């Protein structure tokens, strides 16, 4: 292979790697989890249509975050209708639920829910 052709291919390879290297961070940012600044009192109308239960007594809160007021609690024997989830500012995820026994609605942190809570974004 002649030297000019080999050098030309090497330069082209560097250019392609440089372009791909520049493009990758943009796509990596697209894959970051959806986050919302959890605000208290948010009652979304989304209905994910799945059910589960709490692993133990779980606080039901007025918004997706431990800083929100406690509305009540859910027990392991309660059937919970998982409506949707949101990610709080700290990265934790919370599911908006309706307790089928008490009809209480609110947010429970996903670590306390069977199946990891809802998989439908609010």
The structural domains of the chain, with segments of one domain joined by +, span 1-32, 50-116
Q: pLDDT tens digits, residue range 73-93?
A: 999 999 999 999 988 888 889
pLDDT at 75: 96
Residue 122: its pLDDT value, please? 84
- Edge-to-edge strands, sheet with 70-74: 50-52, 80-87, 93-99, 105-109, 58-61, 70-74
pTM of the entire predicted model: 0.70
- Residues contacting residue 29 through CB under 8 Å, at least 6 positions apart: none
Q: Can you give the pLDDT at residue 6?
A: 44
pLDDT at 22: 29
CATH superfamily of 50-116: SH3 Domains (2.30.30.40)
Which residues of the chain are under the pLDDT cut of 70? 1-38
- The reported pLDDT for the residue numbered 51 is 94
Alpha helices by DSSP H, the chain: 3-30
Nearest to 97 by CA among 44, 56, 57: 44
Q: Quick one: which of 38, 18, 46, 27 has its CA closest to 105?
A: 46
């Amino acid at each position: 292979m002649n030297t000019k052709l080999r050098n030309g291919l090497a330069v082209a390879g560097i250019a392609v790697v440089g372009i791909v290297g520049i493009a990758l961070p943009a796509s990596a940012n697209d894959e970051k989890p959806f986050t919302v600044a959890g605000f208290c009192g948010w009652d979304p109308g989304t209905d994910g249509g799945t059910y589960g239960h709490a692993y133990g007594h779980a606080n039901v809160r007025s918004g997706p975050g431990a800083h929100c007021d406690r509305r009540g609690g859910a027990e392991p024997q309660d059937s919970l209708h998982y409506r949707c989830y949101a990610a709080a500012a700290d990265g934790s995820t919370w599911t908006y639920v309706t307790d089928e026994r008490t009809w209480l609605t609110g947010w429970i942190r996903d670590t306390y829910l069977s199946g990891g809570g809802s998989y439908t974004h609010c």
